[in-house]
Amino acid sequence: MSLLSGRLAALCLVGVALALAPASGTAQLRGPEVSAVRFEGNASFPADSLARAIATRATACRSLWFYFPLPLCPLGVDFALSRSTLRDRDLPRDRARLVLWYRQRGFRDVAVDTAVVEQDQWSARVMFRVNEGRPIIADSIEYLGVEAFEGEGLLDNLPIAQGDRLSTLAMDATRDSIIRRLSDNGYAYADVFRRVNRPGNPPSYDAVVTFEVVPGPATTYGDIRVEGVENLGVGTVLRTVQLRSGDPYRRAEIDEATTRLYGLEIVRNASVVPDTVVGMQDPTVDVAITVQEGDAYRVRTGGGWSTAECLNLDARWTSRNFFGGGRTLSVRGRVGNILASQFRDDLCTQSGEGKYADLTGLGAVDFVQPWIFSTRNALSATLFVERQSLPDIFVRRAFGGQIGLSRSVAQRTVLTGFYRPELSELDATDVLFCSGFLVCAPSDIKQLEEPNSLSPIGLSFTRDRSDDLLNPRSGYRILLDVEHAGRWTASDFRYDRIVAEASRYASAGRVVFAARVRGGWVGSGDFEGLADQSQADSAAVAIVHPQKRFYTGGANSVRGFAQSRLGPRVLLADPPTLLSMQPGGGMCLPSELEDRSCQADPGVPYEIQPIGGTRLLEANVELRFALGFAEGVIFTDVGQAWAQDDPNLSFETLEFAPGVGVRFASPVGPIRLDLAYRFRGAENLPVVTEAIRAFCSEADVSSNRCEEPDDPSDRIVVDGAAINWVRTEMRDLVQLMPKVLFGANDRGFQLHVSIGQAF
């Protein structure tokens, strides 16, 4: 995207705001707009807590961001404001709501005056005067019937404690906590009765609270019935729920059994209901399990489009009860980079050119055994063939498989061990090998590009407690991946790799706050048997496979940068350009290029080549808010990838990219447009070029300065004239020792279009 000045962008935003602002902010409202709601006398609770208890609201700005840096609220733009009008019928109801709210929290003598309203034709200000009175205190709390449970933690950390205000909410929560703890320890009919005594006349403000605990008989599971199964067997359901007749009753196990049933993909609805009719008090509790199955087979197709991958299509066929037992078999395929070559300059600006614009794809067969040794465990196996393209970096072709054993360690929390052997073939630029791996000899590069084994063993931990997979509004997600590849895993590439990621989501009304932190580290091992090793003295050289390196920047990381354009980079230029003395040339002497001491001019038209890093840190913060029929976003991204032993590895080199965006709902997830700004200016980058040597003539051969004469047509042409220098026979790559201060104008806006939230 072309660069725009910050001032012009700000003027455009303000212009849009003025265009969207209504001529009169209240003209479309029925009745006066509530400009303020105030409370007087509320010494014990803040005004914002009371405001949430009533229906009357004041018109408010949806976000502080709409005050600064975007002054949309002062301009009266509708989507930036949450408007509210005065409704007279709500005022007496709000007064009753406040009285009830206070009494539930121990203020039995509270009094709330009739609301005072000051209004004119367009606006109204509402005030509630509160006389809280003296609160009732739980002066003493006694628990009866708990003698048999001493030392079992039954009364630990209960919601109400001696000296607290006598809150009915806290007493209800205390009763529920005790009942729940007893039902988790085999007492299905447990109940708790409470009494409050306020001695004296008039009643004292120091209350005596009594909880009488009636545990009932110790219970076990009785008859366990299964209903509704069609393709699933009754035995499969019983193995999944793990409830056995005669075992002690546990309410937590009942809830967990329902969750386990939903883990079977064919199950559409499931319920596990214990027969705990209070009047019966039967020491054995029968359990009714009802299962509603979905289709035995499912076919799903989908597609998407983004500036990085252009058009992509995917399809999946799944047998959801493969040979019974709840097993699943899936056949899936995905094709990407569709029409990338045709729309490279218009709609798919980050998809790459040439071989990087060819079709990418994945074909795979997945098998899952839902329980093995335990219903918490699942065995999975995958066979796949894949073509992956990372524009201007590498093309990877691979086939292989993966076998994994997963264990559900808690609700929506999975620990997986896996082994993933594959045969991987690279098609990468020579500069990537020379600058990233220090392997510059063509024979060595060819060996690295040929099929090699990449076979890591690893452990993955995931915990997803968010409320929605595609568009979360609350909860959190945690991911930790650890991989190791070595000789004993049958891998030619040897490395250790760790990636950790945590996301948090919180909402207030129609506003969502989202944050994410992601970090990674990879340590390289040896790759043996390189043919030349021109820059290595030992029999092995440390190499990190390009697939396992970290590339940051893009629609899902630091959005101020194009895909994979943040992190370690080198500049690529050919010798004629570096030797040119014309404007735009490198102004180097041939001898300086030969000994790599050339201090090239920053104005050379270099080709920028990302090489990936071995250290990664990213952080993202978003504020998502309703924007009419869409969703608006204000975000800030921070991140960087560093090379191993990078002297600039510090927080000071992190790149900062703020931006705004908009989301449109769709069946496959939010369609996302993000516009971010990068502040990056000039930085010192290494230059990679082809090695050269002096031309060898017949006279040089005669004087024994070289062995064979060079063809005069091989001489390098600089500024229209041939010079007595040629490229080396092997066309080796070299990295110049002085770095170039490059990218003084590398700042500006970056637009991303994709599907799904950034995180």
Top pLDDT among 735 and 437 is at: 735
Class of the CATH-defined domain 6-131:
alpha beta
Averaged pLDDT, 218-231: 91
Architecture category of domain 220-293 in CATH = Roll (3.10)
Q: With bands split at pLDDT 50, 70 and 90, how would you rate the model's confidence at 531? A: very low
Q: Which two tokens stand for residue 46?
A: 């803040």
Instruction: Enter the CATH code of domain 137-214.
Output: 3.10.20.310
Contact 586, 579 (CB under 8 A): yes
Q: Where are the alpha helices (DSSP H) in 288-363?
A: none
Q: Most confidently modeled of 340-344, 398-402, 440-444? A: 398-402
Q: Is residue 503 within 8 Å of residue 484, measured between CB atoms?
A: no
Residue 26, Cβ neighbours under 10 Å: how many?
Answer: 18
**Average pLDDT over every residue of 564-587:** 88
- Averaged pLDDT for residues 532-560: 72
Output phi, psi for 88, to 5 deg: -60, -35
pLDDT band (50, 70, 90) for residue 559: very high
DSSP string, 451-477: -EEE--EEEEEEEE--S-SSS--SEEE
pLDDT band at 604 (very low <50, low <70, confident <90, very high): confident
Asked if the model's pLDDT at residue 503 lies above 70, the reply is: yes
Pairwise CA distance, residues 82 & 628, whole Å: 11
CB 589 within 8 A of CB 677: no
What's residue 176's pLDDT? 94
Residue type at position 580: S
What the block records as the tokens of 752 is: 């991303």
Of 73 and 514, the one with more pLDDT? 514
Task: Report whether pLDDT(362) > 50.
Answer: yes
Mean pLDDT confidence for 337-356: 79
Residue 92's φ and ψ, nearest 5 degrees, are -65, -30
Record the tokens describing residue 10, joined without a space: 């700000």
Query: Please, which residues have CB within 8 angstroms of residue 354's CB and are 6 or more apart in sequence?
Result: none
The Cα–Cα gap between 12 and 8 comes to 6
> Helical H runs in 510-597?
575-579, 590-594
Domain ranges in the chain? 6-131, 137-214, 220-293
Report the phi/psi class of residue 596: left, alpha or beta, with left for phi > 0 and alpha for psi in -120 to 50: left
Q: Beta strands 33-40 and 123-131: pairing type?
A: parallel
Q: Is pLDDT above 70 for 315?
A: yes
Check pLDDT > 50 for residue 136: yes
- pLDDT above 90: residue 476: yes
Q: What is the per-residue pLDDT for 434?
A: 65
Q: How far apart are CA 238 and CA 244, in angstroms?
A: 8
The answer to whether domain 6-131 and domain 220-293 are alike in fold is: yes
Is the pLDDT at 16 greater than 50? The verdict is: no
Residue 27: the pLDDT is: 40
- 410 touches 465 (CB < 8 A): no
In 184-310, alpha helices (H): 234-241, 251-262
At residue 209, the pLDDT reads 95
> Residue 121 — very low, low, confident or very high, per pLDDT cuts 50/70/90?
confident
Whether 394 and 425 have beta carbons less than 8 Å apart is answered as no
Q: Distance between CA atoms of 245 and 268, rounded to whole angstroms?
A: 26
pTM over 0.95: no
Report d(CA 304, CA 754) in Å as an integer.
8
Comparing CA positions, the residue from 347, 415, 353 lying closest to residue 389 is 353
Mean pLDDT of the chain: 85
Q: What is the pLDDT of residue 62?
A: 73
**Residue 452 burial (CB count, 10 A):** 18
- Picking from 618, 476, 471, 464, the residue whose alpha carbon sits closest to that of residue 555 is 618
pLDDT at res. 264? 85
- Which range, 77-81, 167-171, 524-528, 733-737, is most confident? 167-171
